[in-house]
Structures are given as C-alpha cells and as structure tokens.
Homo-oligomer: A and B are copies of this chain.
C-alpha cells in the first residue's frame, strides 16, 4: 500500500488547491490516520498521484511547515511534528547570567505574554562559544528570540568571536529578534529592542539627586571589575562624567571589604548586593548613621531595599519584561528605552 493512499483530498474548485491539500493533511491528523513522527508523501509522489504541479504541493507543505505541523528533512521527506493544532508562540529567552533582576524581567515577560505561549530560558554565562552553540542548536525553531547580549570584555579584543556573535545574530530574521538590556551598536538592521542607556541613565539619575549628593565630600563607586560577569563599562563612564562635570571628587574601587576605609561624608554607590551588605554592616559597626555620616546609593531596586531605606538608582525590571512581551504581542519593531530613575530614601 502506497503512502499516498492515506491522504484524501476532495476537489472543491471554490477553494485553492494548496488549501485543499493543507486541509486534507490536517484532517488526516485530527482523524488519527496520521500520527506524530509519521512520514507524509513526498512532493513528487503527491503531485503525481493527484495530477498537481509540484509547486502547488510545495506551497501547501510550506504552509504546514510554517504552522509547525510538519518538519522537513532534506533528502528524506516531511514528517508530522504536532498533532495538537493550537499554535503556541515559542520564545527563546537568552540571558548572560541568572540574577534576581534578570529573574524579574523573565517573570514579568512570561506573565505579560500570557498563557498561549512558551518561553525557554537559556543562560550562556557570558561565554561567547556557549552563546553561539545555543543559538545554532536552537536556530529557526523559535518564533521569537529575546536576547541580552553581555559578553566578557576580553582585554585581547578577540575580534573574531565578536564577529561570530554578530553574524549569528544576523542570521536570525529581524522580525523575530528582540535585543534586551544592552544595545548593540555594531549590529545593523532594523530589529526590536528594549534597552538601558547605561551611561545616560546613571548620569541623569545622579543629576536628579545632585543637591543632596553635593553634601558629601567624596563619592566612591564599588564597580566589580574583576567579576566573571562584567557590568557594562558605560555605567562607569556615566558616573565619571557626572562627577567631572559637577566637579565632585570621586573614586572607583573593586569591592567593599570589611576593612575598606570610610570617612564621615563619604557617599558610596554599590552595584553588587554583597557590597551593599558589607557596607551597611560596617556603617553600623562603626556607629555611624546612614544618610548623615555615610551615604549610600545602590544600583537596582528591590522591595527589601525599600524597607532598609536604601536610596537606589534603578531601571524598572518588570517594565522591561512587559515591554518586550508587548513588542511581540503587538508585532511592533521599535527601539524602546526602559525607564530609569532615582528613588530617594533615607540613605542619601
């Protein structure tokens, strides 16, 4: 028995022939005659059997492939991949590392996208080759690719690997790509984006609090430079620009240790939570008062920082996830800047 015997299409001149083929396959699936992983007739076989042009069958199969009902394997044939015909939106959410902030972005993204979707989260640990692996392995299998590009800023300036990343990203259809968090100036084309303007954001946020900041004698930023997960250098640039333009004495240190020297009138800007913790502990140990003797501005807000009265400069993580989801839901291709602001609390 030939495979083509399974397929039945009824000729109705009112509807296009390729549509009849599509409906025929769908019907054979829903009636249970075609099951998952079954092979369906080749283009040649079907076109000869029903006296159709090869092109017509090809068109029908392409529609089914776009709907992800069937998959094609070059040189072998077409195979049924899905029997449930509800079309879920599949998203690949690719992030460099898993922090509580990234987590909030992911969660708000998923909940805004709603139930008729599935998003896979993958983490590439700032590793270029792992990033490329994940992207090539999962290439073309998703409807959307939400990507946060953050890589190790190698001192050796490996042009090759950065180029490879850009080439891999270029292979993704622009309509399916959403760049998050870190905007890539080197990537050409018109794709969607929800970005932080790291340099400008910190500059304007600090400027907003300039009057209070002026009361401090020195500003010290704890910028984790030696971390395996680098933060954008532009944070530093923005901070420096703010200090220089306002003629404020400043300093940049790697980390806040238990014995980091601090004086009355110091204002600390912390990025890592661990630095914040050891800083607050030290301030308490020395009997100093936050917001009077020592000032703290922390990067990235959390509810518990609110309780602690820590002044923060922060982007809106939930908004970032929502924005990305809405770009997908509304099929918009825009570059959206995520809101960033200074939230003044007792520690400043």
Copies in the complex: 2
Task: Determine the main DSSP class of A at the interface with B.
Answer: mixed
- Provide the residues of chain B in CB contact with A14, threshold 8 Å: 37, 71, 73, 76, 79
- Whether a CB of chain B sits under 8 angstroms from the CB of A118 is yes
A273 contacts B303, CB within 8 Å? Answer: yes
- Whether a CB of chain B sits under 8 angstroms from the CB of A159 is no
Map CB proximity to B onto A1-42 as digits: 1 under 8 Å, 0 otherwise. 000000000001111100000000000000000000101000
* Partner pick for A308 among B107, B120, B130, B308, CB 8 A cutoff: B308
- Whether a CB of chain B sits under 8 angstroms from the CB of A306 is yes
- Whether a CB of chain B sits under 8 angstroms from the CB of A274 is yes
- Complex: chain B residue closest to A228, CB-CB: B111
- Whether a CB of chain B sits under 8 angstroms from the CB of A65 is no
* A307 and B110 alpha carbons, distance in the complex (Å): 31
* Partner pick for A118 among B73, B130, B304, B307, CB 8 A cutoff: B130
Interface hit among A95-103, A145-153, A237-245? A95-103
Shortest CB-to-CB span from A282 to chain B, Å, is 12
- Provide the residues of chain B in CB contact with A75, threshold 8 Å: 16
- Whether a CB of chain B sits under 8 angstroms from the CB of A302 is yes
| A binding-site residues for B, Cβ under 8 Å | 12-16, 37, 39, 71, 73, 75-76, 79, 98-100, 103, 106-107, 110, 118, 120-123, 125, 130, 273-274, 277, 280-281, 302-308
14 more contacts with CB within 8 A, not counting A98-B107, A121-B123, A277-B307, are: A13-B37, A13-B39, A13-B76, A13-B79, A14-B71, A14-B73, A14-B79, A16-B73, A16-B75, A98-B121, A100-B100, A277-B303, A281-B307, A307-B308
